[in-house]
Chain A
Amino acid sequence: MVTVDAVREALETVEDPHVPVSLRRMGMLRDIAIDDGGVVQVQLCIPCLGCPGVTLLREAIEQCVTALPGVSRVVVDAGFFLPWSRDMVDAEAKALMRTSGIQI
C-alpha cells in the first residue's frame, strides 16, 4: 500500500513549469489522499487560472505517481479555487527566482 509520504516524496521531482523549483516549494502542492483501491488524489493550487502549464503538470504528476508500487490510478485536481500567495513560496525558492530576474 502506497503512503501519502511516499507520494509527497516522489512529487519532489515535479517542478513548476516556469521555475526549476518543486511544486511543494512553490506552495502549489496541497492535499494528497489515497483510498483503499490505491487511487491517489493529488490536489494542486495553481496560481493563475489560465496557466498554460496545467496539462503538462497533470501528465508529469500522473506519470510520476503511477510509477509507485500500489498505485492504481491518479486523479489530479488543479485546485483553481484555492488561494495562492507569494508567502507560500519557501525562502530558498524565492532566492533562486530573484537570481533569475523574478522579484517575488
Chain B
Amino acid sequence: MSGDRDFAGVRCPHCASEALTMVSLFGSSVSEVMFRCGQCRTVFNWVKWRGTLPPTPTVPDRPS
C-alpha cells in the first residue's frame, strides 16, 4: 500500500493485490487493521505488531 510506511508491503490475503484502502486502524480485534481490497473487493484484517514505537528521546525516531 503506497503512501503509508506502516503499511508498506501489505497484500490482500485472497488475491495478493496491493491496491488497498485502509478502512479502520482497529479491526475485528485490537491487534488488527482493517483493509478493503480494490481488486477482489473483500475486506480483510492485517495483523499489526511490527515493533514500531512512537518517537521518544530515548529511541531513534523509527526503526527502518
Q: Do A and B share a direct contact in the complex (Cβ within 8 angstroms)?
A: yes
* A98-B49 contact in complex given A18-B29, A48-B31, A103-B44, C-beta closer than 8 Å: no
| Interface residues of B, dominant DSSP | loop
Q: Nearest chain A CB to B28's CB is how many angstroms away?
A: 8
Whether A102 sits at the interface, judged by CB under 8 Å, is yes
> Are B30 and A103 closer than 8 Å at their CB atoms?
no
- Minimum CB–CB distance for B6 against chain A, Å: 14
Tell me the count of chain B residues lying within 8 A, CB to CB, of chain A.
19
Output the nearest chain B residue to A86 by Cβ-Cβ distance. B47
B residues in contact with A18, CB < 8 Å: 29
Residues of B within 8 A of A (CB): 10-14, 29-32, 35, 42-47, 49-51
Give A residues with C-beta under 8 Å from B. 18, 47-48, 50-51, 83-86, 97-99, 101-104
